[in-house]
Each structure stands twice: as C-alpha cells, then as structure tokens.
Amino acid sequence: MNPITELVDDSFIFIVGISVILLVGITAAMIYFVFRYSEKNNPKPDQSITGSTTLEILWTVIPLLLVLAMFFYGYAGFKEMRSIPPNAMVVKVTGKMWFWHFEYENKKTSDTLLYLPADKDVRFELQSVDVNHSFYVPAFRVKEDCIPGRTNYMWFHTSQVGTYDIECAEYCGLNHSYMLGKVIVLPESEYLAWVNKVDTVKKVDSVKTDSLKTVLPKTDSLKTTLTKTDTTKAPVNRKDTTRTVKKDSVMRKENK
C-alpha cells in the first residue's frame, strides 16, 4: 500500500477521534451543568468556588499535548511526502489553462490521461505555463501547487491497477472546474507497450505537411510584382524663369 496514504489516513483518523471525544465530553458536561446548577436545584448561588491551580494546569497541559500529537502525525506524513525514493521514475506535469500535460522519460507525451505502471514509485516535476494550478490526486492523498517559473515536486507509489481522478485544487480561471484528468495505472507489461508505441498519426501528419511545403512555392505577400515608381523623379522639364526674363529685357534694349 502507498505509505503516504497510510500516514495521511492515520493522522486524519487521529484528529477526528480526538475531535469526537472532545465534542462528546464537552456536550455531556454542558448538559450535566445545566441540570446540576439550574436555578430550580440551586435557588441561592454557590459562592464557595474561588479557583483551582490544578484545574488551570490541566486545561493548559492537556490541549498542548493534543496539539503536539497532531503535529507529530502531520510531520510524519509531510516527511514521507518529501522523501522521494532514488529509483523513482520521473513524469513532468505541466498545468495549462485548462488541462494537464504529461511528459514521460522517453519524451512521449499525453494530455489529461496520465498512464503509469503498477507497483512503482513515481516522481512528478510540476510546472505551469500561465497561472497557478494545483495538481491533486485524492486517491493517493497528494496535492502540490504548479507555479509559473518554478518547479515543484511530489511523489506517490502506484499500489494497484485502476483509474483515479485528477483535479485542480487552485482556482485558475473561468474553466477551472473543467480542469480534470485521470490516472490510469496499468500492469507493467501493458504500460511498457503503451509508452513505447510509436504515434503514427503525428508522423503521417508531418509527412503531409512536408509534402505540401515542397509543392507549394513560398510567396511573400509584401513583395509584389508591381514596379516601383519614384514620384520625386518625375520626367518634368523645368524652365528657368529668371533666364527668360533677362533675355527678353536685353533684346528690348537692342531694338531701341
């Protein structure tokens, strides 16, 4: 069984058990005091109660011990979550608006569906390309934030074959509630067959794209076949009005 699951469940049961005991004890004491010290049974108030040092110590020490015990259970689970086994397989998880993207050790990728082998320790490297997300797998009791510009990590042990929910536990925008996925734990032989399977659909698409690139010539819409004309260099004959006036004035003087 997943050690993280056991520790989280134990701490949860411990805290709930203490809460139930306190609820029952305090409720019973309230009911007792209502009848024991009612005005009907005690027409004159009792003035003999002045205080108790022992009582003060008890209701200080007992809550302190309970809180320390809760801390011990919580820290034990946290320590296990941060202690990743050295031989764990690595899966990169990227949160995007609004789906999960997974990359495996052989660079194969998948979206929304996370495929894992059974009985295996898995380390997750968590990233985000836009806003804060939170990768949450309730069945394995793990949750960690995906933050832009930072790589977080978490891990769990895939104890048995099955399908488990993935959720985003951080409000990340309009379609946050649709950011769901599935962990599909397969027998190791089936997982290896899936992860090593060549994605032929992508290869066919790439071949079609390459063939289209070779057939169709590249045209630059900015470089048209129209000839450029320089409007500043127009074939206009300029006349020098100054010379014309001088010539006319000289001819007039000679005629006189």
Boundaries of every domain in the chain: 3-44+52-82, 89-195
Give 10-residue mean pLDDT values along the chain (256 residues): 86 93 94 85 73 88 93 90 92 96 95 95 96 95 94 93 95 94 95 85 40 41 44 48 43 43
Q: Could you tell me how many helices (H) and strands (E) the chain has, helices first?
A: 5, 10
Q: Using an 8 Å Cβ cutoff, are 110 and 100 in contact?
A: no
Considering only the C-alpha atoms of the chain, give the largest distance between any 2 of them, rounded to a whole number of Å: 152
What pLDDT shows up at residue 48? 72
Q: What is the pTM of this model?
A: 0.69
H-type alpha helices, the chain: 3-36, 53-82, 188-195, 200-215, 241-255
CATH topology of domain 3-44+52-82: Helix Hairpins (1.10.287)
Residue 177 structure tokens: 């509630």
Q: What per-residue string of b and e applies to 204-237 under the rule 16 or more CB within 10 Å gives b?
A: eeeeeeeeeeeeeeeeeeeeeeeeeeeeeeeeee
Burial class (CB in 10 A: 0-12, 13-18, 19+), 42: exposed
Residue 23 structure tokens: 């609820």
* 89-195 is classed CATH 2.60.40.1080: no
